[in-house]
Structure formats: C-alpha cells, structure tokens
Amino acid sequence: MPFLDIQLNDGRKIPSIAFGSGSANKGKDIHTYIEQAIEAGFFHIDTAQQYRNEESVGRAIRESGLEPSTLYITSKYSLKFALPHETPRTALEDSLRKIGVKYLDLYLIHSPRGDYVGAWAEFEKIREEGLAKSIGVSNFGVEELQILLKGAKITPAVNQIRFHPYNYTQLKPLLGYQAKHGIVTEAYGSLAPLTTYPGGPVDAPIKKAAERLGITPTQVIFLWVKAKGAVIVTTSSNKKHLEEYLAVGDLRMSLFPLFSLLILLGFKYSR
C-alpha cells in the first residue's frame, strides 16, 4: 500500500511523505532534483522563503508537464528572513510568483520569531481568501502554540518539527498537545540516528529490525515515523534513495516484530 493522505483538522488532506528542498539545498538551483523526485512518485513538495529556491520548484513543475493542481505544494514565511516591511501577504505573493501557482496547498510560519501572533492573524485572512488552502506552523513548542491559540480563530493544521527517536521523549508533551488540538506533526531530520548520531543506542535494534525484515535502516526509521502518524519530510539527490523512501509506504506494520523495542528505546533515550 502506498503512502496514504492524512486528514487535517480543516477538512483537507495532506500527502504523508514530502520531498523537502531545504537542508543542503538552500540557495541552490535544484530543479533537476525536484523533477527527479516527482518522477519517482513524490507529489508533495516542501519549500520555503528562507530556502531561496522556490524558483527551482516552479521550474521543476513546468518542466514536469504536470498541472500544479496535481501536486501538493508547501511553502513557509520566515519572520527572521523577511525583508523590511514585508508582510505574510506580500511574502506569499512573492512565493506564488516564484513557484508559478495561484495558491499554496499549505503555508507555514517557519519559526516562532517576532510577532508570530500578528502574523497568524494575517495567515487566517490568507486562508479565507483561498491563497493558501491550509495554514500551519513550524518549529513551534507547546508554549508558542498556547500563546498562538489564545487569540486564534483557526487552529494550525500542522506543526513541522525536527522529529527522530532520540528527541521523542523530549517531544512527548508537544505531541500530546498537538493531538489534543488535532494538529498533525510533520517530521524532518528523522534520519538523525544514522546521519547525526551514529553509534547511538538505537543502532542495534534498527540494524536487527532491518535484517529481520530485509529492509534498510533508513526504512526502519521512516516506518517508525509513519507509525506515529507524522508526515515524513525528506530529501535526496539520489533516485535510488528516493525509491527506498517511497517503498516504506508498502511495508506492513504487522510485519515489524521488533518495532515495539524501537519504540521503547524512543521513550528511554533523548538528546
């Protein structure tokens, strides 16, 4: 079974795996990588004002020959990197122009800097006008969400956060708060046990699970993220890796006998 869409609290749905144009790709023309991702089967493209490569997304869409409406496009407004006097509305208009679309499927406040409460009020108007079908936030903690929701008319549909087995314990209060309010988690940086913290305590169970199932350690981690109900946001310039990621959608949870052990390790260890 392929990756399924996840229901949002605004009645819309979001594809549960996305190709991210951030990380090492910031400021680069990566339209060929995005085209490759679309060809591999990614239909959710995640970009941001801060990444300085929204034009790459637009070029990739044009050269793919697909109608933009067949894709799910996310971008983000950065209170840190916005130009002087730039508002969420003007930033969005610039993003739409660069990407070459009339609306975004999802528009996020990139981080809780500055007057994010005032920015959210503008986001609500943006959604009402249909310029963004869904709106949400990124890198928000419980306190920031509580402050935001005090005066909000619309609850964020998602919160995109760094999420992996080593910070799971630390994030439990946030995940619980989001579940209470129907806020979907989008997870980036989930491969940290392999890329940032190799040699850690989850290495052994990940390896054992991978060998037992005949899959890769990467797939074990993404299966864990998928089981948490989170949207996976990932990237790669390697087509085989993209195919490896997408294959997780076909893995069945019933075939994961060591999954509970990995979950327990997620509870116990935190960085």
The answer to whether 93 and 124 have CB atoms below 8 angstroms apart is no
Supply the DSSP symbol for 25: G
Task: Report the candidate in 237, 100, 266, 243 with the shortest Cα–Cα distance to residue 172.
Answer: 266
Question: 3-state secondary structure string, 152-185?
Answer: CCCCCCEEEEECCCCCHHHHHHHHHHHHHCCCEE
Q: What is the DSSP string of 232-260?
A: EEE--S-HHHHHHHHGGGG--GGG-TTHH
Q: Which two tokens stand for residue 151?
A: 């005066």
* Residue 110 assigned ligand-binding role: yes
What distance in Å separates the CA atoms of residue 160 and residue 183, rounded to the nearest whole number?
Answer: 10
**264: part of which helix (H) or strand (E)?**
helix 259-268
Q: Which two tokens stand for residue 36?
A: 């490759």
Catalytic residues: 51
What distance in Å separates the CA atoms of residue 238 and residue 30, rounded to the nearest whole number?
Answer: 12
- Angle at 63 (CA atoms; ends 249, 129), nearest 5 degrees: 75
- Residue 256 has phi, psi (to 5 degrees) of -120, 75
Length of the chain: 271
Name the binding residues.
110
Name the binding residues for substrate.
110
